[in-house]
Amino acid sequence: MNTNRLSPTLTTALNEQMTKEAHASQIYLSYAAWADNLGYGGIANFLFRHAQEERNHMMKILEYILKRGAEVKVVAIPAPPANPKNMQNCFEKVFEHEVDNTNAIYKLVKMSFTEEDWATWNFMQWFVKEQTEEETLALSLLDKIKIAGGKNIDSNSLYSLDRDLQITPDDATLAQDVTAENP
Ligand code: FEO
C-alpha cells in the first residue's frame, strides 16, 4: 500500500525549499554577527530573531513532508554571501533575499496547483502570507534608512535605528488588516 501522498516532483521541490529556508537562516545569522561586530546590538538582535524565524520555516516544511508520508533529505546548506557593505546595503540584501524566497514559494504554489495537490497548495498559503509580511517589514526598514540619509546615514540615526530594532515587532501589518480608523 502506498502511503506517500506527495508526488516525486513536489517532494523534490519541497526538500529544496526546506534547504532554502535553512540557507535564509544562515544569511540572517551571518548579517546579525556582522552587525553585532560593528556594535549594533539592537540590529543584531532583530536579525538573530529572524534567523530563528527562518529555521522555523524550515521545520514547518520538514514536518509537512513527513506528515504526507514522503522522504525528507537533509543536505548541505550553501554558505551565506559576503557581508554587507553598510547598513543600507544590509537591508537591501535582506529585501532581495526575501523577494528571491517569495519567488521560490510562488513556484511551489504553482506546482501544487498544476498537480491539483490541494493539501500542498493550502499548506503553501501560509508561506505566501508570511512572505508578504517579511517583504513589507524589509521595505519599511529600507524606508527608515532612506529617510535618515541612505548610505550616508549618520551615527545619531543609526543609534536610533539600533534602539528601535531591538523592540521592533517581528511581524508587519498587512494591507488586509488595515481599517479606515486604524490605517
Ligand atoms: Fe522563510 Fe523569509 O523566508
Cα(91)–Cα(141) distance, integer angstroms: 7
Whether the predicted pLDDT of 175 surpasses 90:
no
The Å distance, Cα 2 to ligand 1 centre, comes to 32
> 98 C-alpha vs ligand 1 centroid, how far in Å?
6
Cell of 110: 504553482
Question: Which pLDDT score, from 0 to 100, does residue 52 have?
Answer: 97
| Residue 57 CB less than 6 A away from ligand 1 | yes
How far apart (Å, rounded) are the C-alpha atoms in residues 57 and 121?
16
Under 8 Å between Cβ of 120 and 12:
no
Nearest CA to ligand 1 atom 1: 54
C-alpha cell at 20: 532554502
pLDDT digits (tens, 9 = 90+) for 102-134: 999 999 999 999 999 999 999 999 999 999 999
39: left (phi over 0), alpha (psi -120 to 50) or beta: left
**Which homologous superfamily does the CATH classification assign to the domain defined by 8-173?**
Ferritin, core subunit, four-helix bundle (1.20.1260.10)
Mean pLDDT of the chain: 95
Ligand 1 atom closest to Cα of 102? 3
CA 54 to centroid of ligand 1, rounded, Å: 5
